[in-house]
Amino acid sequence: MLRYVIRRLLLIIPTMFFVALITFSLAHLAPGNPFDKNPNRPMPQETIDRISRFYGVDQPIPVQFITYLGNILHGDLGISFTRRTPVVDVIGQGIGTTFQLGIGALAFALAFSIPLGIVSALKQNTMIDYLSMLVATIGTTIPGFVLAIFLIYIFGVNLHLLPFVGWGSWQHMVMPMFVLGLGAGGFLTRITRASMLEAIRQDYVRTARSKGLQERAVIVGHALKNALIPIATIIGPATAGLITGSFIIESLFNVPGMGRLYVISILARDYPIIMGTTLLYAFLIMIANLTVDIVYGVLDPRIKVA
């Protein structure tokens, strides 16, 4: 098990290398640089040279890339073009908020999706099933920002119940967490329902019934225990999805997190931040995938990760 984890952790390195290479290349393919903000008033050449030296962009591109990689190993992601502060600090300011939002959304998603999925499977093709599948479909299909627009219109603009700009109080958190959680929750509801339907059709459930167990014991002790395996494995990517997918919601509700920062940096072409954030996101996703495989090995006795 330990060896497997170590091998998987080592595999992250080449993948991260390619992620860095791709983002770096794209950033250098892109037109413009931090100094041509105002074409009518060009900077004096010595200023450009000075700034170029400061950012290291006077070096050949391969050298820049290697320097960049070397710096990453020291936890240095470069300096933001627009803020003139280290990227690590800028990201550090937003990451807490983003995690707060993501974890809150995940808690909300889990709280409604798993019971809903189970009930839906047990009452297949009834009104309850259709209703919860409709909720799940709306959650997965309608984009978060569109959902947020409707919510802002109803609860913010019309009813004045909830603030829709900023972050801090619990009232600020309600709508962003709800919108973000509904998408992930809709997906989890469908997974739960599907794996529960799969489980209750299995022969071993019939065996459990033939022992005379209460229906509750059959469902919880036998069917759910099997159905939880695919559900648990999806929670990892779902968390990664919530954290990396929060950028639109953060921008919309003006939440000072990593996602909003990312969008601002994209609009401002602040490549050091774009690259740093992308690498961080990619790292989170790979860790999430690795966690899935480990959780899978723990939950399912048939899987022997060696």
Partner 1 sequence: MATAVTAQEKRTAELNVLARKQRSLWGDAMYRLFRNRAALVGLVVIAVAALVAIFAPVLAPYGPLEQHGKDGLMEPIWTKFFGSKYTDPAYLLGSDELGRDILSRLMYSSRVSLIIGFVPVSIVLAIGLTVGMLAGYVGGVLDDFLMRVTDVVYAFPDLLFVIIIVATLRGTGLGDAYDGLLVIFVGIAVVNWVGVARLVRGQVLSVKNREFVEAARAVGAGPGRIMRKHIFPNILAPVIVTVAFAIPGAMLTESVLSFLGIGIRPPTPTWGVMINEGFIVFSTSPWPVLLPSLCISIVLLAFTFVGDGLRDALDPRSKM
Partner 2 sequence: MAQQLLEVTDLHTQFFTRDGVVRAVDGVSFEVAAGETLGIVGESGCGKSVTALSLMRLIPVPPGKIVKGTIMFDGADVLKMDDDEVRGIRGNNIAMIFQDPMTSLNPVLTISRQISEALELHLKMDKSEARKRTIELLDLVGIPSAKKRADDYPHQFSGGMRQRVMIAMALSCNPKLILADEPTTALDVTIQAQILDLLKNLAREFRTAFILITHDLGVVAGMTQRIHVMYGGKIVEKADTGELFANPKMPYTWGLLRSIPRLDERRKAKLVPIEGLPPDLIAPPPGCRFEPRCQYRRDICREKEPELVHIPNSKPDHEARCWGTQQGGWLVDTDWHKEVGDTRIIEEIKQEVAQLPPEPKPGDVPPPPAI
Residue 107, CA atoms < 13 Å, CB-side half-sphere = 9
For residue 101, state whether it binds partner 1 (rule: CB under 8 A). no
Nearer to partner 2, 46 or 203 (CB): 203
CB 259 within 8 A of CB 247: yes
For partner 2, the closer CB: 35 or 296: 296
Binding mask 222-261 for partner 2 (x = CB under 8 A): x--xx--x--------------------------------
* Interaction mask 59-98, partner 2, x per CB under 8 A: ----------------------------------------
Of 160 and 211, the one with the shorter C-beta distance to partner 2 is: 211
| Closest residue by Cα to residue 105 from 183, 166, 204 | 183
- Least Å distance between CB 304 and partner 2? 9
Per-residue contact string for residues 166-195; x = within reach of partner 1 by CB under 8 A = ------------------------xx-xx-
Nearest CB to partner 1, comparing residues 152 and 174:
152
CA 170 to CA 261: how far, in whole Å?
22
Long-range contacts of 166-170 (CB under 8 A, 24+ apart): 166/253, 166/254, 166/255, 167/97, 167/253, 167/254, 167/255, 167/256, 167/257
Mask for 191-230, x = binds partner 1 (CB under 8 A): x-xx--xx--------------------------------
Plot region of 255 (φ>0 → left; ψ -120 to 50 → alpha; else → beta) = beta
Mark the segment that binds partner 2 (CB under 8 A) among 149-157, 201-209, 266-274, 287-295. 201-209
Question: Across the strands, what pairs with 86?
Answer: 79
Of residues 51, 263, 292, 305, which one binds partner 1 by CB under 8 A? 263
Q: Is 260 in the site for partner 1 (CB under 8 A)?
A: no
Residue 264 CA to residue 251 CA, distance in Å, equals 8
Separation between Cα atoms, residue 207 and residue 214, nearest integer Å:
12
Q: Which of 107, 150, 204, 298 binds partner 2 (CB under 8 A)?
A: 204
Six token digits for residue 237: 């990517």
What are the angstrom distances between the C-alpha of 99 and each of 170, 222, 250? 15, 34, 12
* Radius of gyration, alpha carbons of the chain: 24
Residue 46 within binding range of partner 2, rule CB under 8 A? no
Q: Which listed residue (1, 6, 15, 169) binds partner 1 by CB under 8 A?
A: 15
CB of 214 to partner 1, least distance (A): 25
Between 50 and 225, whose beta carbon lies closer to partner 2? 225
Using CA atoms, how far apart are residues 1 and 9, in angstroms rounded to an integer? 12
Residue 64 burial (C-beta neighbours within 10 Å; 0-12, 13-18, 19+)? middle
Tokens 């050298």, residue located: 63
Applying CB under 8 A, which residues contact partner 2? 202-204, 206-215, 221-222, 225-226, 229, 299-302
Applying CB under 8 A, which residues contact partner 1? 15-16, 18-19, 22-23, 26-27, 29-32, 124, 137-138, 140-143, 145-146, 149-150, 152-153, 156-157, 190-191, 193-194, 197-198, 240-241, 244-245, 247-248, 251, 262-263, 266-267, 269, 274, 278, 281-282, 285-286, 289
